[in-house]
Amino acid sequence: MSPDGTIRTEHLWKRFRADRQRMLLRDRVEQMGRRLRGGGPEDWSWALRDIDLHIEPGDAVGLIGSNGSGKSTLLKLLTRVMYPYAGTVDVRGRIGALIEIRAGIHPDLTGRENIYLFGALLGLKRREVAARFDAIVEFAQLNTAIDRQVKFYSSGMQMRLGFAVAAYLEPEVLLVDEVLAVGDAVFQQKCLDRMREVLEQGTTLVFVSHDLAAVESVCSRGIWLEQGTVRVDAGIREALGAYRESIEAKTEASARVGEPVQLLKCEVRGTERDSPATGEGLVVDLVLGGDHRNPAMLHLGVSEGTASPVFSLRHEITTKDGEARVRCVIPRLPLPRGRYTLWVGAYGMWHIEGQSLMAWHPAGQFEVYGPELDPPPRAVVLAAPVYVEHEWS
- pLDDT value of position 314: 92
Residue 247, CA distances (Å) to 252, 335, 341 in order: 9, 21, 11
Determine the 3-state secondary structure of 242 from DSSP: helix
- pLDDT value of position 28: 64
- pLDDT value of position 51: 94
Domain boundaries, the chain: 7-248, 255-368
199: which residues sit within 8 A by CB, 6+ positions away? Answer: 58, 60, 205, 218
- pLDDT value of position 62: 93
Q: Please, what's the b/e burial string for 220-251 (b: 16 or more CB within 10 A of its CB; e: otherwise)?
A: ebbbbbbebebbbbeebeebbbbbbebbbeee
Whole-model pTM over 0.75? no
Which CATH number describes the domain made up of 255-368?
Answer: 2.70.50.60
- pLDDT value of position 254: 47
| Grouped pLDDT means (10 residues each) for the chain, 393 residues | 85 80 62 63 79 93 91 91 91 84 79 91 87 91 91 87 86 83 74 86 90 85 94 90 78 63 91 89 92 84 81 87 88 90 86 72 88 67 68 75
- pLDDT value of position 352: 43
39: which residues sit within 8 A by CB, 6+ positions away? Answer: none
- pLDDT value of position 268: 94
CATH of 7-248, one of 3.40.50.300, 1.10.3470.10, 1.10.3720.10, 3.30.70.270: 3.40.50.300
| CA-based nearest residue to 198, from 167, 165, 164, 159 | 167
